[in-house]
Amino acid sequence: MAERTVVALGGNAISPAGTAGTASEQTRNIHATMAQVAELVADGHDQLVLTHGNGPQVGNVLIKNELARDVVPPVPLDWCVAQTQATIGFTIADTLGFELARHGIERPVVPVVSRVAVELDDPAWDAPAKPIGPYLDDEAEVARREEAGQHYVRVGERGWRRVVPSPQPRVSLDRPAVELLLDDGAIVVANGGGGIPVVSDAEGPWRGVEAVIDKDLAGALLAQEIGATTFAVLTDVRGVAIDFGTERERWLERVALDELRAHQADGQFTAGSMGPKVEAACRFAEGTGHTAAIASLDEAVAAVGGTAGTQVSP
């Protein structure tokens, strides 16, 4: 079997930090990222799966849902995730296809609308913690939405923000399609935005739920499921730092799994940003015995090649 690579693209691969931008801004940014991904493919990473974040994009969809709620029925969060998979996915297909052609490579690029199963007894259901959507400063509006079943937390001076459960990804339901397409020579986009979260009831089809799965964890899961030998999380910092932002700050170039787990247990990594990336890299290294990378998007080729960012060895 050809070697398989999974690359998880952070929000900065799609839009500048903190904004979702217009469609043409997102397209330009995705195109710039795909120029790098095409280098990866040209470099021989043949069986390649891309996954991607969608935070600001889902935020925009949620705002539209709320502002239009008296006119059209809001769609649930799992539908919002699906919507962002499609828009980001086909823009990747357009621009990566174009960049590959510049390398003389003709390969189908296929975004797979991806569902990821979570469990109904995941402890995350009782502790919604993943912030999504815009900041609100209208307390009455927050109260109205909490009445309707949403959860909000106060985030300092910026106001209130919705939080949703972020359950553990258990099974990538569309993995069979991903593997068929890889074996057929396609480059695949899958588990975007962490995947569409679904649960299984006793009887009935898979059912979408109001949750957001972490995209790095969903990427690491898929990487393990398809037997990838390389997993890279690409983001807007150069790698993993210990004592980040202090005088003792130290960037890790190569780190053994055990050591990284120890730093993690020390509370070195924040829940919202580096935490899930480190957890995803650890799970991949543990589960497969292969090295995982956390690196800057700008160093994609070197990072996947093992010579940039933080390399986490099993």
**What does the binding site for a second copy look like in residue numbers (CB under 8 A)?**
20-23, 31, 60, 63-65, 67-68, 71-73, 75-76, 79, 82-83, 85-87, 89-90, 93-95, 97-98, 108, 110-113, 115, 174, 176-177, 180-181, 184, 186, 196, 198, 204-208
Q: Which of 53, 65, 192, 277 is catalytic?
A: 277
Active site residue 54: no
Active site residue 12: yes
| Smallest gap from residue 22 Cβ to a second copy (A) | 4
Burial class (CB in 10 A: 0-12, 13-18, 19+), 150: middle
Burial class (CB in 10 A: 0-12, 13-18, 19+), 111: buried
Q: Which of 264, 225, 249 is nearest to 51 (CA)?
A: 225
Q: Which of 191, 195, 215, 239 is catalytic?
A: 215
Our CB check for a second copy shows the closer of 177 and 301 to be: 177
Active site residue 239: no
- Strand-pairing partners, residue 199, are 207
Q: Which of 216, 225, 236 is nearest to 281 (CA)?
A: 216
Active site residue 64: no
Active site residue 60: no
> CA–CA separation, 36 vs 297, rounded Å?
8
Q: Which of 29, 130, 195, 239 is catalytic?
A: 130
Our CB check for a second copy shows the closer of 110 and 260 to be: 110
Assigned token pair, 262: 């120890």
| Smallest gap from residue 153 Cβ to a second copy (A) | 21
Our CB check for a second copy shows the closer of 21 and 305 to be: 21
> CA–CA separation, 50 vs 87, rounded Å?
15
**Catalytic residue numbers, as ranges:** 11-12, 130, 215, 277
